[in-house]
Amino acid sequence: VQSNESTHASGPMYASYVRVNFEKAHEAAKQIQSRDFIPYGPFENEGSNCSRFVREIILAGEPNWAHALRLEVVPTLTPTTLYPVSALYHWVKVPGCLDEAAEQLKEKLSSLPDSLFLKTLPEPPKPNSVPLNAQWLAGESSGSWFDIVKEQNGYLVSRFSMSGLVECQVLMNMSAESDWNGEGEFSVTYPSHCAEITIQLHDKTVSLKSVKRP
């Protein structure tokens, strides 16, 4: 994804829209997001990419038969959502508007070999709003900071965006099969999100699960 120019936030922006049942589309999106691991790719069984995700959500919203048919046959071989956009009507194009500094950075990055790019986003500078002990956990194109604080009634888990904005703050408890006193060295690993956190210790993995929001 990092070396695929069509997935970068630059160049012209394409958009279209269609009438759907919002409640059904929203519920489908939440169901997909509730899954822990989602295989990434165009042909992965039960997998997804940005293009497949957008198509599945729109289809779940039950658009009219003409749009549904076009979405069923639209290719989703690349992560870019350009193909689902082109399958709908009311199609518009907004010219690119990168400033000079962004264009220069884009040119520098495009000249680097793909071998220099990691499979996951490298840890960025930690914003002042993120606690000092927060740990960075990332995928290929997104990541978050996780901070875990032991309290009397559980563990307060705060998740921050790359820029330091609070994405969620949840009170969690240890799962029944886990045993950890909250001390010692540990690392946050996959799957970790606002409903469950996975912690890698020296010799085992433990899980924290959401109780309620404080």
β-strands 166-174, 205-212 pairing? antiparallel
**Which distant-in-sequence residues (6+ apart) come within 8 Å of 169 by Cβ?**
156, 157, 158, 159, 213, 214
**What is the domain partition of the chain in residue ranges?**
5-97, 135-212
**Which distant-in-sequence residues (6+ apart) come within 8 Å of 80 by Cβ?**
4, 6, 7, 50, 51
pLDDT tens digits, residue range 55-82? 889 999 999 998 898 888 766 566 567 7
The pTM of this model reads 0.59
Instruction: Name the one residue in this structure whose structure tokens are 């979405």.
Output: 71
- 8 has a pLDDT exceeding 80: no
- 45 has a pLDDT exceeding 60: yes
How large is the average pLDDT for residues 127-155? 90
The sheet with strand 154-160 has its strands ordered as 135-138, 143-151, 154-160, 166-174, 205-212, 196-200, 187-189
What is the predicted pLDDT for the residue at 36? Answer: 62
